[in-house]
Chains A and B, each alone.
Chain A
Amino acid sequence: MRNPMNRRLPRELKADFGKYLVIFLFLVMVVSVVSGFLIANAGIADAYKRNIRENKLEDGHISFNIRPDEDILTAVAKNADVDLYQADFFEEDDTDGTTFRVYRYNTDVNVAEVTDGRLPNGAGEIAIDNLHAHKKEIKVGDRLTVGGRELTVVGLLAMPNYSALFKDNADLMFETEAFGVGVMSPEGYDAFASDHETIGYAWIYHVKPDTDKEKQDASERVLNALREELITANTEIVKRSMAGETGLAMLEVSDFLPEYENKSIQFAGEDMNGDEAAMVVFLYIVIAVLAFIVAVTTINTLSKEAGVIGTLRASGYTRGEMVRHYMILPLAAFFAGMLVGNILGYTGLRDFMVGIYREMYSLGKVETFWNADAFVKTTLIPAAIMIVINAAILIWKLRIGPLQFLRRELSGRKKKRALKLPRKIPFSWRFRIRILLQNLPNYITMAVGIILAGAIIIFGLMFQPLLETVAQRISDTSISRYQYILKTPEETNHGAEKFAIATLETTKENYKTDEISVYGISPESSYVKKSIPEGQALLSNGFMDKYGVKAGDTVSLYDKYADKTYEFVVAGDYPYEAALSVFMNIGEFNDKFGKTPDYYSGYFSDRELTELTESNVYMRLDSEVFGHFADQLWKSFADFMGPVKWFGILMFVLMVYLLAKQIIERNQTSISMTKILGFSGGEIGGLYIVSTSLVVIASLLLAVPLVAWLLRLVFKTYLYQRMSGYLPYCISNDCYIEMIVLGIVSYLAVVALQLWKIHRIPKSEALKTLE
C-alpha cells in the first residue's frame, strides 16, 4: 500500500506554494549561474587547450635585428634539439591608432584557426584576430587602412600564441582594442613590404619538456646554443670588418621568449583556473544557508503539526518515516530547482558566461559539453549538503517521543519559565520582544542570511570604486612621470636619475609567485623621497601588506635564472602602488647582484627622454600605463559584477520573505485573535512586522563590520594567495551605504507582502478547533 501521507504532498505544495517557489527560484538562480559558469569555464579551457594542442603552438620565439645565416639556424636547431620555423611579422598602425601585428601565414607553427570567412590568398587581403574584430566591430568584407595601405578583411582568426592580446610581454594587462594581430598570405605579406618588419623564428622542441624545471632547462639550452652561434658569427663579422670588409652588421637578438613566460599564451589559462574554486565555495555557502532556511521552515511545520506527529508516532509511525515525509517537499523543490538551474546553466547562462570570457580572450570555436565534474559540484555535493543538514535537524527535532509531541513540548527541554520583562517597558514593546524570543531560530537564520547576502552585494559593488582608488593611488605614489628601463646603460642628463633594477620572485608557500622589482636607488634621490638605511631595504606598501611583512623582518627573494636566493632586511615601507617592489641603495644593489659599482639599468624622469636610443629602451613605464591596467581590470570585471550585486539583492529578498512569512504563519491564530479583540491591521503589523524589521535593520548594520572583516579575510587568505600582484583592501563607505539602502528598499517589498498576508488572515482562524 502506498503511504497515504504522500497524498498530502500535492495539497501542501498548493497550500504553501510561495515557500516552495522561493526555494525553487533560489536554487534555479544559484545553480544556473554556477553550472553555467563551470560549463563555460570547462568549454573555454578546452578551446584554449585545443588551440594550443592542434595548432602547433610555439615553444618559444626569437627575434633578430637582421636575418641570420641558414647555417646559424641549423646549428642552433641541432644543438638545442628543436625545429626552428620562420615567424616574421611587421607592425603598422591603422587610421585610429590601433597597432596591427601581421604575420606571414604558415602551417608549421602557430597556425591560425579561422573562425569566420577564409584565409587571405593574395595581395591586399588580411585575416585578423576575432576578439579585436569583435571589439572594433570589424566584419569580414570590411576594409582596413594599415600602414597607409588598404586591405580587405577576408577572415577572422584565433591564433594559439595570442589567446590574450598582450602587445608586449612586459605589459601588465592585455589590450583588446588598441592592439590586434593578423595574418597575410606569403605573397601578400611580401608584397606589403613593410618598413617595420621583425625577423622572427619560433621553435618547437623535438622532445616536449614536461615540468617547469624541464621547460626552463630546455629554453636555456636554446639560449645557450643561440649565444654560442652569435659569438661565433659576430666574431667572424668583427674579423671581416677589421679585414676591411664593409656593409657588415652584427647579428643581435631583440627578443627571446619561451612559451611558459609568454603572457599572450599563459594569461588566459591561468585566469580560468583561478575563478572556479571561488565560484564553487560560494555555491556551497549559499546552499548551506538555504538548507538552514528550509530547516527552519520545516521546524515551524513540525510545531504546527505537533499533535498529528505525536498521534502518528504513538500509532507506530517510525521516526524515519516522519523524517522522510517532512523532507520530501523541500527536497522536491530543491531538486526541481537544481534540474531547471542546470538546464538554464547548460543553455542561456552558459552562453552568457562564454560571452564574458570571449570579451577578454581570443579563442577559436568554443564547444561546451556535459561535464561530470560540474555535475558533481553543482548538483551532487549541494544535494548532499541539503540532505545532510535537513536530515540532521529533522532527526534531532524528532528525537523526542510521541508524548512530548502530544503535549507540544517540542524543545525537548523542561519547560522554562517565561522571561520576566520589566513593566516599565511599554506593552507593545514587550509584545515585540516576546515575538523575537519566540522566533529566535528564524531570526538568527535571517541575520546570517542577510549578512551573507550583504557580503555578496558588497562584493558586487566594491570593485569599481576599488579600482578607481587603485588607479588614483598608483598615480599619487608614482616615483616619476616616466621610468625607462634600458637594455644597456646609456647616458642622458636633464634631470633624469639613474637606478638599477632586477626582477626576482617570491617563494612563499601556498602563494602564487609574484614578480618583485628590486630597485637600486641613487644616493639622495630626488624621486624616492625616503632615505634607505644602510644594509636594509624598503618594501612597497603593497608587498608589506600582501605578505604581512613588518619592519625588522627579513624577506627572501629568488632569482630563477641564476637559481639563487637573496635576502633583504626590511627597514620599513615605501608608498608605491604600481608594482610589488624592494628599494635599496644602488651601491648595495650592485654589490649584491655582482654588478660593477657604476652599473645602472634605467632612469626615473618627469619628462619624456626622447634622446634615448629607441631600440635600447627595454621598457618605458608611465602613469598612464598603470592607470590603464586598473581600467582594463575593471572592464574584465564589470560584466560579472553587475549580476553579482543583483544576485545578492534577490537572495536577500527571497530569504527575508520566506522567514518573515513563517513568523506570520506561526502566529496566525494569535493574529486572528488580536483582530477579534479589535486591533487594526496596521496595529498588528506594528507588532509583528516591527520585530522582523528591527532584525533586518540590525542585521544590515551588523553586516557592515562583519562583511568588512569577512572580505578582509577573503583578501588576506584567499585572494592574496591566488592572484599575483596586489589589490589594496579598501571598500568605499558608499558601498556600505548602498548595501543598507538597497536592503531596506527591497525589504519594503517584503513588508507589503507581510501586511497583505496579515490582512488575509480571517477572524475565524482563532475560533477553529486545535486541529
Chain B
Amino acid sequence: MREKENTMSFVEIHNLKKSYGEGEARQAVLSGVELSVEKGEFCVLLGPSGSGKSTLLNIIGGIDEADEGYVMIDGEKTADMNEKRLTQYRRDHLGYVFQLYNLIPNLTVRENVEVGAYLSKKPLEVDELLKTLGLYEHRHKLPTQLSGGQQQRTAIGRAVIKNPDILLCDEPTGALDYNTSKEILALLERINREYGNTIIMVTHNDALKNMADRVVKLRDGKVSRNYLNENKLPVSEIEW
C-alpha cells in the first residue's frame, strides 16, 4: 500500500467543504476533503451512511456545488464554469450511473443506450457495447421487461456509450442481489480495463476496496484514508 502522491492528477480536489441546512440545523457534510485521482484509475469511495460520499460524487459531477474549495478536472475548475459550461462539461466528459436506473420507460434497451450516444461526438458502437453488456438479445425490450441487473446494465450502457473520461457510479449495486451485483461490478471492471475510463464508484460495501486502484475512505466529511491498492483483485475473487 502507498499513501497519496503529490503530483498533478487528472482529478484534483482541494479543501472541499459542503454543509446542508440553515441556522442551528446546519450540518457539515464535507469538511475539507483533499483528494486526487489519476486518469484511468478505478477509485472506490467508501464510508458509512452520511459520510458525504454521494455529496462528494455529485460535486465532482457538477450537479452540486461546494461551499468552499474546488474540484479541478484535467486542469479546469468546475466552480469557474457557468451552468451552460457545466452542462457541456458533463456532456463531454462525464457518465453517470445511479442506484436507481432511471431508464426511460417507453424507450427500448437500444434506444436508452442511444440516448447517451446522442450526447457524444464520437460515441462507441452501440451494438458492440450491447454485446459487451450482454444486452444484445434484449435490445428491443422495454425496461419493464428486464430484470434489475439488466436494467442497471442498460443504465451503465447509456453512461458508457459516449465514452466519457470519467464514469461516476453512485451505489450502482445498491438495489441488486449478490450475484447480479457481482455481474455489474465485473462489467464496470471490464469497461475500465477496455475503454480506459476513470471510474469513481461510491459504495458502502467495504469488500469492494479490493477491486479498486485507489481506495478513499470518508468519515465525518473528511478523507480518513486514501491509498493506492497494490493487491487489486478481480471482482470474481472478492466475496462479501
CB < 8 Å: which of B88, B91, B104 contacts A5?
B104
Size of the B side of the interface (Cβ < 8 Å), in residues, is 39
Name the residue on B nearest A5 (C-beta).
B115
**Known: A4-B114, A15-B106, A768-B144. Is A316-B100 also a contact (CB below 8 A)?**
no
B38 touches A (CB below 8 Å): no
- Tell me the minimal C-beta distance from A38 to chain B in angstroms: 40
B132 touches A (CB below 8 Å): no
B159 touches A (CB below 8 Å): yes
Would you call A770 and B119 a contact (CB within 8 A)? Answer: no
Would you call B119 and A316 a contact (CB within 8 A)? Answer: yes
B149 touches A (CB below 8 Å): no
B116 touches A (CB below 8 Å): yes
B157 touches A (CB below 8 Å): no
Give chain B residues whose Cβ lies under 8 Å from the Cβ of A401.
63-64
Name the residue on B nearest A402 (C-beta).
B63
| Contact flags A297-337 to B (C-beta < 8 A → 1, else 0) | 00000000101101111111111000000000000000000
CB < 8 Å: which of A312, A316, A768 contacts B94?
A316
Q: Which residues of B are at the interface with A, using a C-beta cutoff of 8 A?
A: 58, 61, 63-64, 83-84, 87-92, 94-96, 98, 100-107, 111, 114-119, 143-144, 148, 151, 155, 158-159, 162
Give A394 to B224 CA distance when docked, in angstroms.
43
Give chain B residues whose Cβ lies under 8 Å from the Cβ of A12.
106
Consensus secondary structure, chain A interface: helix
Give chain A residues whose Cβ lies under 8 Å from the Cβ of B100.
307, 770
Size of the A side of the interface (Cβ < 8 Å), in residues, is 30
Could you write out 15 A-B pairs with CB less than 8 Å apart?
Answer: A5-B107, A8-B104, A8-B106, A11-B106, A15-B106, A308-B104, A313-B87, A314-B90, A315-B162, A316-B88, A317-B91, A319-B83, A319-B87, A403-B58, A771-B143
A5, A308, A313, A316, most chain B CB atoms within 10 A:
A316
Give A533 to B115 CA distance when docked, in angstroms.
86
Would you call B107 and A316 a contact (CB within 8 A)? Answer: no
Give chain A residues whose Cβ lies under 8 Å from the Cβ of B116.
315
A149 touches B (CB below 8 Å): no
Known contacts A313-B87, A771-B105; 14 additional CB pairs below 8 A are A4-B115, A5-B104, A12-B106, A305-B104, A307-B102, A316-B88, A316-B91, A316-B162, A317-B91, A403-B58, A403-B63, A406-B98, A769-B148, A771-B144
Name the residue on B nearest A312 (C-beta).
B115
Give A228 to B15 CA distance when docked, in angstroms.
106
- Tell me the minimal C-beta distance from B145 to chain A in angstroms: 11
Give A402 to B94 CA distance when docked, in angstroms.
14
Give A317 to B102 CA distance when docked, in angstroms.
14
The 4 A-B residue pairs whose C-beta atoms are closest, nearest first, are A316-B91, A4-B114, A311-B102, A307-B102
Give A4 to B104 CA distance when docked, in angstroms.
11
Name the residue on A nearest B88 (C-beta).
A316
Give chain B residues whose Cβ lies under 8 Å from the Cβ of A319.
83, 87
Name the residue on A nearest B89 (C-beta).
A316
A1 touches B (CB below 8 Å): yes
CB < 8 Å: which of A7, A318, A406 contacts B107?
A7
* Interface residue ranges of A115-153 to B (CB < 8 Å): none
Give A516 to B190 CA distance when docked, in angstroms.
94
Give chain A residues whose Cβ lies under 8 Å from the Cβ of B83.
319
CB < 8 Å: which of B92, B101, B148, B155 contacts A316?
B92
Would you call A4 and B111 a contact (CB within 8 A)? Answer: yes
* Interface residue ranges of A7-38 to B (CB < 8 Å): 7-8, 11-12, 15
- Tell me the minimal C-beta distance from A722 to chain B in angstroms: 49
Would you call B98 and A311 a contact (CB within 8 A)? Answer: yes
- Tell me the minimal C-beta distance from B121 to chain A in angstroms: 10
| Contact flags A382-420 to B (C-beta < 8 A → 1, else 0) | 000000000000000000011100100000000000000
A3 touches B (CB below 8 Å): yes
Give A319 to B119 CA distance when docked, in angstroms.
13
Give chain A residues whose Cβ lies under 8 Å from the Cβ of B143.
771
